[in-house]
Structure 1
Amino acid sequence: MSSTYTVRTKLDSYTYGNEPDELYWTLDSLNVSDSRVAVIESADRDPVIQVSVNPDGSFSVHYEGAGGEELSSSNADILALHQALLTGMRDKNRWLSVLRHLQDTFGSFGIEDGSPVDYASTGLTISTGLLDVSKRNQRLRRPPVLPLTLKWGLLAVTTGDAWGGLPIESTLSLTVLAQGAGVKQGIALMAPRGQIRNGADVGSPELILWAGDGRTFTIGCQSPHGVLQVCNVYEEAGPGWSRVERWTENAGLWVEWVSETERLYHCNHASTAPPTFDDLVFSVRVVDDSAAQA
């Protein structure tokens, strides 16, 4: 049993249209310093929910039903709150039960058994899930670990790989194994403070290869830090314009470590939902097996 809900803040007002990312961004935008709150209410004002953020980053929630029922929860985690709001808006009979369980979820939501949150079932895109991971790590004072990853079902998903332990100079073989139809997809390779080139082309710090331009590429890599950065990219275009995009919506990848000298990349396009990670699949291999370092 679902109803129509309006979400209002000091800066915005919209009718919720089954966009979990938008709701998360609204919660994330709440600010203690200007006393900004979010009000979520159904068309018949049954219920009205007020959400505010606390100085430590936790949330407080107050529920008021048309029949006079009231419930307050505090010290709530942003993702726990987000999931509770989604559940309530889908089934108004569950509002009280889901909000009651928000109490004291801050700092513990999703980690009671020591496992990370599985974002595959949250309704969030990969990019917004990674935003939550980053802010969650900051709140819990976890040391930064790059590249940032999230759990997506059984997979560790990221927007880009940082392959370390490579020699300063190496030759790589990149092979496109599979690609989806209908969109222009590519691979971005970067050697921080170094040079990377396709065959005999002039080198540059970053190289973009389009999957439709060939199946196998021979890459020269000069990386002072022994690091190769890899991510999938894609073209967005309209009448008279085009641009290369990365890291938006559901764009992401998981890395299959074949050996110390070869990795397989399973990529998802930004618009593929739910993610399948088979929009673009390619391998990168160090041609000289003795070159890569353990």
Structure 2
Amino acid sequence: MGAMKKTATRTETSPETGTDTDTTADTETAAGMRADADADMGRDAGTDAGSSTDAGARARTGRAERAARAGAAVSAGRLAGKTALVTGGSRGIGRGIAERLGRDGALVAVHYGTNEAAAKETVAAIERSGGSAFAIGAELGRPGDARALWSAFDAHADGLDILVNNAGIGTSRPFADTDEAEFDRLFAVNAKAPYFITQLALERLRDGGRIINISSGVSHAAVLPDIMTYAMTKGALDVFTRNLSKVLGPRGITVNAVAPGIVDTDVNAAWLRGEENREAREGAAAMSALGRVGTVEDIADVVAFLAAPDGRWVTGQWIDATGGSLA
């Protein structure tokens, strides 16, 4: 349902967007900034140069110690030693998922289609939280896209444990206005690309691994019939999920689909945010049984559960993460 937006998105853009926030890290960073400010104020007031130097040194030491603690927490996370790939990880739900898996200890490959700068920002955010990540580019929906993606991945990592097929594009054209070019483009990016990315992943994906496909609530309910073609691509992804779980079960690999509803992201910002869009936001919130619009964290947490050891006995499932919008 995250495809409910006014214009189509780029390949690297998942149906939703946003970032996670580490409250502890933010608090500690603020403390470090105050220490730096105190040191600067001392110098400006003409205080002893040695005292200013000492204050600056203490601030730098404090930041180093906080970074070390964050790194230690990540290295002890439940995904420590695992490698994950998130397609469309430069923005949207993809970025939120990448950041969450990074905080849980995984080395994260952040895939992007065309927006390299956004991917590098996501990598930097993961690293600031003490995690490890790298960016890889491959524009999906083109011939050879899956091979190009894995060629870029192989230059950075040896083997895979978690694959999140998140990249997707949407449409705002109703059934009567959809032409063959748009139909083919939607299926190429949203259904064909994850199919062949996953096929080529199997020689890299270790036994006991995880495959998580980002679907949509619209694949199970005709709540937005004007985006029928998009819904059909997600329906294909759901069928792929169920059948692939049987194919890979003997290797202990779980395969599941997570279906977001309407999520507050920069893709949806044009009609969800701002005082002028209050009515649209209230209408979107009313669709959820919980009375609010979803957040990126809401979806990333579900994915994190499936990626972790806790999700070992769940496979072949379509998980409703719409906040009860389909209830």
Where is the helix percentage greater, Structure 1 or Structure 2? 2
Where is the strand percentage greater, Structure 1 or Structure 2? 1
Both proteins in one fold, TM over 0.5: no
Structure 1 length normalisation: TM-score?
Answer: 0.28
- Greater RCO, CA 8 A, separation 6+: 2
Larger radius of gyration: 1
